[in-house]
Copies of this chain bind each other. A is one copy, B any other.
Amino acid sequence: MAVGQCDFPDMPDVAGIMMGTGCAGIKQTVKDDILVIQMAEQSTCAAVFTRNAFCAAPVHVAKANLAHKPRWLLINSGNANAGTGEQGMQDALTSCVRLAELVSGAANQVLPFSTGVIGQPLPVVKITAALPEAIKNLAPDNWDKAARAIMTTDTFPKGVSKVINIAGQPVTINGIAKGAGMIQPNMATMLSFIATDAKIRQPLLQQCLTLAAERSFNLITVDGDTSTNDACVLMASGCSDAPEITEGSEQYQIFADAIISVCKQLAEAIVRDGEGATKLMRIVVQEALQMEEAVRVGKTIAHSPLVKTAFFASDPNWGRILAAVGRSGMENMVLENVQIFLDDVCIVRNGGCANDYTEEAGQQVMNRDEITVTVKLGRGQAAQEVLTCDLSYDYVKINAEYRT
């Protein structure tokens, strides 16, 4: 189902970061479904969370514990512990307590994350029973296993690795993520865990992650739904030989660019694995008045079921793209200034179908499984790219049958 090449990369160790997985049997399938990540003692940790007003219980706990210099992450797949009321909060806290007991840490240094079905009680007993196995497995080379343990409807594990040079020393950045549907970014839940051995203080790390999420995970959409559980965590162990990365430095720029790049690649992997996806669509909006306008137009196109079904059908239906641009809420829009391209084929110009456009040229592009839709608004200088996928029969099938 996934679009394009989706192999899991070789991922080197990140000094100071260890991962262990275990099988709690939360769903019937026999697969590792819990993941413990342990950070070295002097690590810093940043996180961004869903904007859904109804956060799942683990999100509340993770937000609160972020202030207590977290040392451990506890992630389970198969159950979202969302819409579970007061009991859900107790269950999230209990999971943290149990892990803390086993690693002789403090419960408020554990960040919990859950993904899976909403509204069913978290099976704390099963999770607790599997914790010793996960802790025993803690090792720095478990990135592939970790990426698999957090999967739900994903069809492939998602990982990205990058090594950068900070003042002559190598710094490693590894990231894993899971999607796969209900991504705006969000629901069915997007989770991403990124680790580096860089040395960087928490406020600057948080600033970096917030920026990176804005430029990556917040610019993708599968179906416009926003999860109660989404989260992205960035951990920095400080165990590399590189000097501390400080605000305003050239090193910070290199580091931030690398984090953005890792987040973008993970975000793209999530869209490639969008539920039922057969095509990856890059919606590039240029010549907007401001960045915010470019994002809004891009997302309006990316959310349109009509546009998405047309792409599924490989139909170069530019009228639907134009109509989406028209309803995206721009003031004083001049239709005649808008140009639309499918890859390098101009399909709309001067308020209608481009004179030199041919159905053959359009069809040739639409038959590809990765397509860039470029919309030039003719209003300004701002540009932005939004990623999405098409809307297929299988999207309906996967989401109609999710609980059966």
Contact = CB atoms under 8 A, between A and B. Distances in A.
Interface of A: 51-55, 80, 82-88, 117-119, 181-182, 184, 186-187, 223-228, 303-306, 309-310, 312-313, 315, 317-320, 322-328, 330, 333, 335-336, 348, 350-353, 391-393, 395-397, 399-404
A119 B392 CA distance: 24
Given A228-B326, A309-B399, 16 more contacts: A53-B325, A53-B326, A53-B328, A82-B323, A83-B352, A84-B352, A86-B351, A118-B322, A186-B327, A187-B320, A224-B303, A305-B399, A313-B399, A315-B402, A391-B396, A395-B396
B396 A327 contact: no
A51 to B, nearest CB: 7
A322 B400 contact: no
Given A83-B318, A392-B396, A88 B53 contact: no
Nearest to A338: B54
Contacts of A317: 118, 402-403
A392 to B, nearest CB: 7
Contacts of A326: 52-55, 226, 228
Contact of A312 (B82, B117, B327, B396): B396
Counted per complex, copies of this chain come to: 2
Given A317-B403, A399-B310, A327 B52 contact: yes
Given A318-B83, A352-B88, A52 B400 contact: no
Contact of A396 (B187, B309, B319, B330): B309
Contact of A352 (B52, B119, B315): B119
B396 A323 contact: no
Nearest to A397: B393
